[in-house]
Structure formats: C-alpha cells, structure tokens
C-alpha cells in the first residue's frame, strides 16, 4: 500500500507539478490534499503547457485517478474553467473525483480576501486574493459550505442564506460594502454543481479502497512547508497545512500508510508575497535568477523574489516533514554562475550562530545568512540523464545540499520538460 507524499520544502513553486506528474507514471491515483486555486502547478507534456490550479497533476494520464481531497477548498466556477481549459488542450481524462466533504470558496470569501488585504495596508500579506484564508476560516468556524451542499440546491440556498447573515453584517458594517444575495450566488454556483455532480463522491472511501487493493498513491501538496499555517513564517503563510501531517489529514490516508515523503527543493529559493526571506538577493544576481528562471507566478503572474538556497530552513523542513528523499529541481537555472552560495547557518541579532530555524518570523526577519561558496558550472545540463554525466561542480553542489539537510537525493530535475530528469531512485 505505498503512498508517497510530494511536499514543497521552501515557499512554493519548487516544481511540485512536474515531479507529481513524473511519479504519476507509476501511480494509480493522485490526491491533492489542501489549498485551492492559490496554487499554480505546471506540467509540460511535449509542446503542451498545463497550468493546473485545482486539478491534481496526474490528469494527463487517463489511467490515473485524480482526487480533489477533502482538505482542499474548491472554487467551483474556477474548477469548471480549468476543466474546460485542460480539455481544450487535448487532455481528455475524465477519471476525476471530488470529495463531497471539501469546502467551497464562496464569492464572499474572494471579496473579503481583497478587502482584508486592503485593510492591512503596509502589513498586507500579499495573498493570491483567491479567498483561501476566509474559506478556511469559515471551515474552522463551522460556518463553511461544502461540495455536498453544492449538489443539493435546496440545501445550498439554505446554507448560503445562513452564512450571509454574518457575512453581510461584515461587508456592510466593517467594510462599507454592498451586501450579497442568495440568488446571485445561487445563480453563479448552482449550474457548476450540476456540471460537477458526477465527479462528487466520498473520496476517503475511494482512497482506502485503492490502498486495500495495493494500488500506488501520490499525495500532491500545494504551497509549501514555509507557508504552512503552523510551521511557516506566520502570519505570512497560507491558511492550510501543506506539510506531511496535513497530507494525511486532507487526503484520507493514515500516517501508517505513507511509504515515502519526498521534499521538493528548488536549487535556489523563491518566494511570492510578503514575509521574511533571509537569503533573498536584492541585487543583480537576484534579478539574474528571476530572468534566467522566468520567475513569475503561475497563478498571479507576480514577480517572484529570488535568493540562494537556505539549508537552515530546509533542514527544518526535512525534520518536520520527515523527508525520506529529495527532488532537487531547476538545477539548470544555476548554469552560468561562477560560484553558487549555500546558506548553512544564521547569525542571530545577538551575534550568535545557529543552524536551528527560529520559530518567530520577526526573529527570522533579522537573521544574517552565513554562506558556503561552491564553484559554479557553465555547461548546459538539461539534456543529461545520469549523475555521472552532470558537471562535477553541479553534482558537488547537490551533494553538499543533501548532506546539510541530512536527506538523500532521489531525483534531480534539469529542465521543465517531462523527461528532463535525473533519476537516482524511484520514490514509488
Ligand atoms: P509548483 O507550484 O511547485 O508546481 O511549481 P510551478 O509550476 O509554480 O513553478 C515551477 C516552474 O518551473 C514551472 O514553470 C515548471 O515548468 C518549471 N520547472 C520545473 N522543473 C524545472 C527544472 O528542473 N528546470 C526548469 N528550468 N524549469 C523547471
Ligand atoms: P504553489 O502550490 C507560492 C503565497 C501567497 C502569499 C501567501 C498566502 O503553486 O506552490 P493565500 O492566497 O494562500 O492566502 O496567500 O501564500 N502562496 C503561494 N506562493 N506558490 C503557491 O502555490 C502559493 N500559494 C499561496 O503569495 O504570500
Ligand atoms: Mg506554483
């Protein structure tokens, strides 16, 4: 009953989509376990570039069942649009299952996400404004609306009517905004319920049945460890648990059924939105990484902040997730640098050195990264498929990172294309 979890080890956009698609080649099922359309996961198949937001990255393989797990918050109109886009690109798989227990991102969540960001002013979090925070807040306040409500029009209207009692007070009295009506929401959402109904099911049952039958599962995380509501740089985080515990919580898989936890590590670091980022490069090298790596958000198009790899944060990520292996991605982007730096420790404001990641984001904002310098390499590497063929300096860099994180390397991604990968060990 092998279930492998794919987890972003940094601040997102590590290449989880590409690695999940790769693992899906040997899997029967791919389950997304948290987040919503704040995620943007890119999968490349030949000339086709799929930018997936809610649909799991196994979708291009018709024999693989894809599951939108109960830990997700689903935006139904956006999901319909995504399904249509994916189909227009020739991906015909209909092997899709949506958890009836997943919560919905409602129009007022999206509105409130934007209004709350405006209210925060200079302290804005830089959210994707997709309504994710307010949707999870409603889930935990027990005022959320779920997929099972969407496919039952009478119940949907009743739940929305109940929810609007509070939401409209907030909209009108706190934000001086027009109230929303049940009818306008029903008009927008109920037709999506009709279209999605045939995919809606008890996915926990489906997942357990697959495991009973010895099928191989990939649990696909969105966002990443440092954006986790508990482990991340609070409050500059997302509102769910992308880490290993969250994978079980949001998918219907028990911790006892997990066989592998794969940490996806970008060969450098990027972050979108506000919050501390010790190794951020605000100089020409940072600009070079952005341009060389085309570092613009898959969901919002925002320029990503870029910097050197941070093994203090990664060691912490390896511990809290229990990474059994790493997939180092985008190694090709570093080609052409004379030297590559690895952050191996932080100097704290009191002058002392630490390799322990501080739990307080305010402390993290004031640490000074201590770097090890490694020689760079100039040869293109995207065509290489084995460790032996990699430039010596590129392999030495990966090995040093692996040693500092105390986790072996399973995969090295050397390009965006599906086959641009060096496989050391199959995690599934
Ligand atoms: P995700 O959110 O973790 O799935 O990552 P994104 O899809 O948002 O961003 C990763 C970007 O890097 C996408 O454009 C991928 O196509 C691309 N990518 C993935 N792996 C590699 C790689 O090894 N090299 C290069 N150059 N691009 C990669
Ligand atoms: P994938 O899955 C990178 C960031 C936002 C913001 C913070 C909170 O593609 O790696 P939210 O809208 O979730 O309330 O925003 O989290 N963020 C991401 N950054 N990749 C993502 O997803 C992200 N999803 C959210 O930029 O800083
Ligand atoms: Mg992304």
Annotate 201-258 with DSSP letters as a single string.
Answer: E-HHHHHHHHHHTT--EEEE--S-GGG-TTTSSTTSS-SS--SHHHHHHHHT--GGGE
pLDDT digits (tens, 9 = 90+) for 58-77: 999 999 999 999 999 999 99
Ligand 2 atom at minimum distance from 41 CA = 9
C-alpha dihedral sign at 272, 315, 328, 286:
positive
| Domains, in order of start, for the chain | 3-99+200-261 (3.40.440.10), 103-196 (1.10.300.10), 266-423 (3.90.170.10)
Integer Cα distance of 126 and 131 in angstroms: 12
Ligand 2 atom 15, closest CA: 127
303 touches 386 (CB < 8 A): no
168 touches 185 (CB < 8 A): no
For a ligand 1 pocket test, name from 42, 57, 60, 218 the mutation site with the most ligand atoms within 8 angstroms of its C-beta. Answer: 42
pLDDT digits (tens, 9 = 90+) for 4-40: 999 999 999 999 999 999 999 999 999 999 999 999 9
Q: How much is the pTM?
A: 0.97
Ligand 1 atom 21, closest CA: 416
Separation of CA 298 and ligand 3 centre (Å): 5
Separation of CA 298 and ligand 1 centre (Å): 9
For residue 428, the model assigns a pLDDT of: 83
Angle in degrees, CA 103, 108, 109, rounded to 5: 50
Pairing mode of beta strands 269-271, 305-307:
antiparallel
Exposed/middle/buried for residue 349 (C-beta within 10 Å: 0-12, 13-18, 19+): exposed
147: which 2 tokens? 């997929």
Integer Cα distance of 38 and 52 in angstroms: 10
Integer Cα distance of 92 and 348 in angstroms: 53
26: which 2 tokens? 């040997």
Ligand 2 atom 5, closest CA: 127
307 touches 243 (CB < 8 A): no
Active site residues: 13, 41
For residue 1, the model assigns a pLDDT of: 60
Angle in degrees, CA 249, 255, 260, rounded to 5: 110
Q: Which residues of the chain have pLDDT under 70?
A: 1
66 touches 166 (CB < 8 A): no
237 touches 227 (CB < 8 A): yes
The single residue listed with the structure tokens 């109904």 is: 197
92 touches 62 (CB < 8 A): yes
For residue 246, the model assigns a pLDDT of: 98
DSSP 384: -
């Amino acid at each position: 009953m092998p279930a492998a979890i794919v987890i972003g080890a940094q601040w997102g956009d590590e290449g989880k989509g590409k690695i999940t698609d790769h693992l899906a080649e040997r899997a029967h099922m791919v389950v997304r376990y948290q987040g919503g359309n704040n995620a943007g996961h890119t999968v490349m198949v030949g000339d086709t570039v799929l930018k997936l937001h809610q649909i799991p990255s196994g979708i291009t393989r018709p024999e693989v069942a894809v599951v939108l797990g109960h830990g997700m918050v689903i935006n139904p109109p956006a999901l319909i649009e995504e399904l249509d886009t994916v189909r227009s690109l020739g991906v015909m798989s209909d092997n899709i299952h949506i958890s009836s227990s997943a919560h919905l991102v409602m129009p007022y969540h999206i509105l409130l996400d934007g209004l709350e960001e405006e209210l925060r002013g200079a302290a804005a979090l830089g959210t994707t404004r997709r309504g994710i925070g307010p949707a999870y807040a409603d889930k935990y306040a027990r005022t959320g609306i779920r997929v099972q409500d969407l496919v039952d029009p009478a119940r949907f209207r009743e739940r929305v009517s109940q929810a609007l009692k509070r939401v409209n007070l907030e909209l009108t009295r706190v934000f001086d905004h027009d109230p929303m009506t049940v009818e306008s929401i029903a008009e927008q959402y109920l037709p999506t319920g009709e279209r999605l109904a045939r995919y809606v099911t008890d996915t926990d049952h489906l997942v357990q049945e697959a495991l009973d039958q010895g099928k191989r599962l990939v649990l696909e995380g969105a966002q990443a460890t440092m954006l986790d509501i508990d482990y991340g740089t609070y409050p500059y985080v997302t509102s769910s648990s992308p880490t290993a515990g969250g994978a079980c919580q949001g998918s219907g898989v028990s911790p006892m059924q997990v066989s592998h936890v794969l940490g996806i590590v970008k060969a450098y670091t990027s972050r979108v939105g506000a919050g501390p980022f010790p190794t951020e490069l605000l100089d020409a090298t940072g600009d070079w990484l952005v341009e060389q790596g085309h570092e613009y958000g898959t969901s919002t198009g925002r320029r990503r902040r870029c910097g050197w790899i941070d093994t203090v944060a990664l060691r912490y990520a390896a511990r809290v997730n229990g990474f059994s292996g790493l997939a180092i991605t985008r190694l090709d982007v570093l080609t052409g640098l004379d030297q590559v730096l690895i952050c191996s420790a932080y100097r704290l404001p009191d002058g002392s050195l630490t390799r322990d990641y501080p739990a307080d984001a305010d402390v993290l904002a004031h640490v000074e990264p201590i770097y090890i310098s490694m020689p760079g390499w100039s040869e293109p590497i995207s065509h290489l498929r084995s460790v032996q063929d990699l430039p010596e300096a590129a392999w030495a860099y990966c090995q040093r990172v692996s040693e500092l994180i105390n986790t072996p390397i399973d995969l090295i991604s050397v390009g965006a294309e599906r086959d641009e990968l060096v496989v050391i060990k199959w995690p599934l």
